[in-house]
């Protein structure tokens, strides 16, 4: 994100449940996105001001026409003044077209730039951030909130300035034309200002509630779509639909409350100007009868007065729009203000040759529970080309340990080195090009099988892709309707669990990393397929440093050594046979699987 776009200090972690204040300052901090479009803004403002001037000039020409040629019966003078009024009207229409054309290009480009920077910031933020936030809340900020800012920047802000200026200038003109009627118009401003201040206080609270509830509803919709297989398999469609409906009804109730508040405000804004028009007509007629006003002045006065109805009546819409934009800006700044706590290493990038991975007295605690250590004083040495299986009970910290290698999380104590270099000294891009991870729950994207495979190495050749598919027993991808170019659907829902795991494993293998991390990647495979994959993996792991989370004895057999993880630390390291003979806890962990294998044989 450009440093000029957002200013002010940032926090280390945003709280998704906190409600930062929505104010003009929130919008002001996003002013950097307007700077590249200053020329367009100047044109928009200039054409709008020109339009205001013309809207005032046309009634004055009408006054001159009525009080001059028409009153005096000079027919020859009617045509020039009539043509002048027509020309001013056409020019006003041209200025409006020009403003809207420039406006649409500028504000859409601004929204695109904000959307790009917001997405980039979400990619920079660590797993500790994403684990706190609902995806629907992030989605609503990237769509609804950005649209609210775009609407206000392209329409509301401009007309807030123009309408205030128009009301001020027209009121001055009316006071100069006939001060008693001008005073009537000026006095209508007091109740409008009072109403606007009351409206703003309530509307900002309701706007935030509506936008938050929209985010919650988006989360439910996304989860319902992604988890449709689970929902249907448990027969809970009605239950999930009921939860969605309750959230939708809650949003409806809040939205109606917001609409009722707006309706009351806009009603008063409509009543006050219309009441003023009635008073002006009454007093104006009396003024004409007494000779204090000419008929032309009265027509011009009423025309100018009516020209104020839209600026005053639209004030409610613009104020509502401004409150929504301020709330949206505050919600977006929650993300922009969150500084990534996992950043690139400084200085020149050190060389890496063999892939020697060392955990040196590593501690780890989650950011929101800094006093609760998940890993403590953990040390493990994995030599280049060696494969170590990580075995431990559920909740012992295996998955967190594997997440530390690509720096999805950072250690809170000790360090992890690759060929003697602290992982924090590498740039994230370089580190993650040397480390590839295949997770137990694979994530596939709504793109082709080929794009999923080459996500970690776009330049891979066809032969390398075929080899990776062969290693992971994922050749089924070649038999899809359009081969590797077949789109596999969101989250790979068109594939089975085992197929998704094998495709994710092929993706990791294709990256040709120095360090390959497998987090129980073979758990969804049948015994026959698992055996074929393990045989092929042995060839791959012969030249790669490997760290494998294992729950089954068959997976453990892939490793040169086994590390037993207990209560957040490595308690024993040795070969599979050594730990079976010497460590009762290790035998207990693998006992159930061993019994199954024995029964099967």
Residue 574: is its pLDDT beyond 50?
yes
* Among the ranges given (105-114, 151-160, 225-234, 478-487), the one the predictor scored with the smallest mean pLDDT: 225-234
Residue 63: is its pLDDT beyond 90?
no
Same domain, 275 and 382: no
φ, ψ for residue 573, nearest 5 deg? -135, 130
What is the pLDDT, as a whole number, of residue 310? 74
Residue 241: is its pLDDT beyond 50?
yes
What is the pLDDT, as a whole number, of residue 410? 92
Residues 6+ apart with CB under 8 A from 508: 436, 437, 438, 456, 516, 518, 521
343 within a domain of the structure (yes/no): no
What is the pLDDT, as a whole number, of residue 123? 86
What is the pLDDT, as a whole number, of residue 24? 83
Question: pTM of this prediction?
Answer: 0.70
Whole-angstrom Cα distance, residue 322 to residue 309? 20
Q: In CATH, what number is assigned to the domain containing residue 488?
A: 3.40.50.300
**Bridge pairing between strands 373-382 and 357-365:** antiparallel
- Domain finish residue from 336, 369, 397: 336
Same domain, 363 and 305: no
Give the pLDDT band (50/70/90) at residue 521.
confident
What is the pLDDT, as a whole number, of residue 125? 86
Whole-angstrom Cα distance, residue 255 to residue 258? 5
DSSP assignment of 317-328 equals: HHHHHHHHHHHH
Whole-angstrom Cα distance, residue 312 to residue 189? 9
Whole-angstrom Cα distance, residue 514 to residue 387? 12
Highest mean pLDDT among 39-43, 376-380, 552-556: 376-380
Whole-angstrom Cα distance, residue 514 to residue 172? 77
State the angle between helix axes of 237-290 and 189-226 in degrees (0 to 180), rounded to the nearest 10.
Answer: 160
Residue 501: is its pLDDT beyond 70?
yes
Q: Distances from the Cα of 260 to the Cαs of 207, 315, 317, in angstroms?
A: 13, 16, 13
Residue 319: is its pLDDT beyond 90?
no
- Domain finish residue from 306, 336, 366: 336
Give the pLDDT band (50/70/90) at residue 598.
very low
The total of structural domains in the chain comes to 2
Quote the tokens at residue 113: 């730039």
431 closest CA partner among 453, 390, 403: 403
347 within a domain of the structure (yes/no): no
What is the pLDDT, as a whole number, of residue 14? 53
508 closest CA partner among 377, 415, 383, 406: 406
Same domain, 302 and 371: no
Residue 106: is its pLDDT beyond 90?
no
The alpha carbon of residue 344 and the mean position of all alpha carbons in its chain are separated, in whole angstroms, by 23
What is the pLDDT, as a whole number, of residue 12? 43
* Among the ranges given (113-117, 270-274, 327-331, 456-460), the one the predictor scored with the smallest mean pLDDT: 270-274
Give the pLDDT band (50/70/90) at residue 365.
very high
Whole-angstrom Cα distance, residue 319 to residue 258? 13
Same domain, 180 and 89: yes
Same domain, 331 and 454: no
For the chain, how many residues are written? 601
Residues 280, 187 contacting (CB under 8 angstroms): no
What is the pLDDT, as a whole number, of residue 394? 83
Q: In terms of residue numbers, what domain contains 77?
A: 24-336
134 within a domain of the structure (yes/no): yes
Q: Is the dihedral of CA 280, 286, 292, 294 positive or negative?
A: positive
Whole-angstrom Cα distance, residue 476 to residue 499? 8
- DSSP secondary-structure letter at 234? T
Residue 362: is its pLDDT beyond 90?
yes
Whole-angstrom Cα distance, residue 506 to residue 528? 18
Same domain, 328 and 376: no
Nearest-5° Cα angle at 140, 136 to 145: 165
1 within a domain of the structure (yes/no): no
Same domain, 255 and 398: no
Same domain, 296 and 432: no
Residue 8: is its pLDDT beyond 90?
no
Same domain, 329 and 414: no
Tell me the average pLDDT across 420-433.
89
Residue 97: is its pLDDT beyond 80?
yes
Same domain, 366 and 310: no
In which residue are the tokens 């890496």 written? 352
In which residue are the tokens 């104006």 written? 284
What is the pLDDT, as a whole number, of residue 193? 67
470 within a domain of the structure (yes/no): yes
Give the pLDDT band (50/70/90) at residue 570.
very high
Same domain, 408 and 283: no
- Domain finish residue from 336, 368, 383: 336
Residue 4: is its pLDDT beyond 70?
no
Same domain, 331 and 465: no
511 within a domain of the structure (yes/no): yes
Residue 404: is its pLDDT beyond 80?
yes
Q: In CATH, what number is assigned to the domain containing residue 196?
A: 1.20.1560.10
Quote the tokens at residue 328: 């949206």
* Among the ranges given (54-68, 463-477, 485-499), the one the predictor scored with the smallest mean pLDDT: 485-499
9 within a domain of the structure (yes/no): no
2 within a domain of the structure (yes/no): no
Q: Is the dihedral of CA 567, 572, 575, 580 positive or negative?
A: negative
């Amino acid at each position: 994100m450009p440093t000029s776009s957002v200013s002010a200090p940032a926090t280390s972690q945003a709280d998704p449940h906190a409600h930062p204040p929505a104010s003009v300052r929130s919008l002001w901090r996003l002013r950097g996105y307007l700077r590249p479009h200053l020329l367009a803004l100047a044109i928009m403002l200039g054409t709008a001001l020109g339009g205001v001037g013309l809207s005032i000039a046309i009634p004055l020409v009408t006054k001159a026409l009525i009080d001059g040629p028409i009153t005096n019966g000079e027919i020859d003078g009617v045509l020039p003044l009539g043509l002048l009024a027509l020309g001013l009207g056409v020019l006003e229409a041209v200025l409006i077209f020009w403003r809207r054309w420039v406006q649409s290009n500028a504000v859409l480009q601004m929204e695109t730039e904000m959307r790009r920077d917001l997405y980039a910031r979400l990619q920079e933020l660590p797993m500790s951030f994403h684990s706190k936030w609902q995806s629907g809340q992030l989605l609503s900020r990237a769509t609804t909130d950005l649209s609210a800012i775009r609407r206000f920047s392209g329409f509301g802000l401009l007309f807030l300035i123009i309408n205030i200026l128009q009301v001020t200038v027209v009121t001055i003109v009316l006071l100069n034309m006939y001060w008693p009627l001008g005073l009537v118009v000026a006095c209508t401003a007091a109740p409008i200002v009072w109403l606007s201040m009351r409206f703003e206080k309530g509307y900002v609270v309701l706007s935030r509630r509506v936008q938050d509830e929209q985010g919650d509803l988006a989360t439910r919709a996304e989860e319902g779509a992604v988890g449709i297989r689970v929902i249907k398999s448990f027969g809970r469609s009605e239950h999930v639909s009921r939860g969605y409906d309750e959230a939708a009804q809650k949003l409806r109730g809040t939205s109606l409350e917001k609409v009722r508040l707006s309706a009351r405000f806009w009603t008063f804004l409509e009543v006050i100007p219309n009441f003023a028009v009635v008073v002006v007509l009454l007093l104006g007629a009396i003024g004409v009868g007494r000779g204090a006003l000419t008929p032309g002045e009265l027509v011009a006065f009423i025309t100018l007065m009516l020209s104020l109805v839209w600026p005053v009546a639209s004030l409610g819409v613009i104020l509502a729009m401004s409150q929504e934009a301020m709330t949206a800006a505050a919600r977006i700044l929650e993300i922009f203000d969150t500084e990534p706590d996992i950043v690139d290493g400084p200085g020149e990038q050190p060389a890496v040759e063999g892939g020697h991975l060392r955990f040196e007295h590593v501690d780890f605690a989650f950011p929101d529970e800094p006093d609760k250590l998940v890993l403590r004083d953990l040390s493990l040495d994995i030599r280049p080309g060696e494969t170590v299986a990580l075995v431990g009970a559920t909740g012992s910290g295996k998955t967190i340990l594997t997440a530390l290698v690509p720096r999805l999380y950072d250690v809170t104590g000790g360090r992890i080195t690759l060929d003697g270099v602290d992982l924090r000294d590498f740039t994230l891009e370089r580190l993650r090009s040397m480390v590839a991870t295949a997770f137990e729950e694979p994530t596939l994207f709504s793109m082709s099988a080929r794009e999923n495979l080459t996500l970690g190495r776009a330049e891979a050749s066809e032969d390398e892709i075929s080899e990776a598919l062969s290693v992971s027993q994922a050749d089924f991808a070649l038999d899809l309707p359009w081969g590797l170019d077949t789109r596999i659907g969101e989250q790979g829902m068109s594939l089975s669990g085992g197929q998704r795991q094998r495709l994710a494993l092929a993706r990791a293998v294709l990256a040709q990393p120095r360090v390959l991390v497998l987090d129980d990647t073979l758990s969804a495979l049948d015994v026959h397929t698992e055996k074929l994959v393990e045989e092929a993996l042995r060839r791959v792991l012969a030249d790669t440093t490997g760290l494998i989370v294992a729950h089954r004895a068959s997976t453990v057999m892939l490793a040169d050594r086994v590390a037993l993880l207990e209560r957040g630390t490595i308690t024993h390291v040795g070969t599979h046979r050594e730990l079976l003979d010497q460590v009762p806890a290790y035998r207990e962990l693998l006992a159930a699987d061993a019994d199954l294998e024995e029964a099967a044989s």
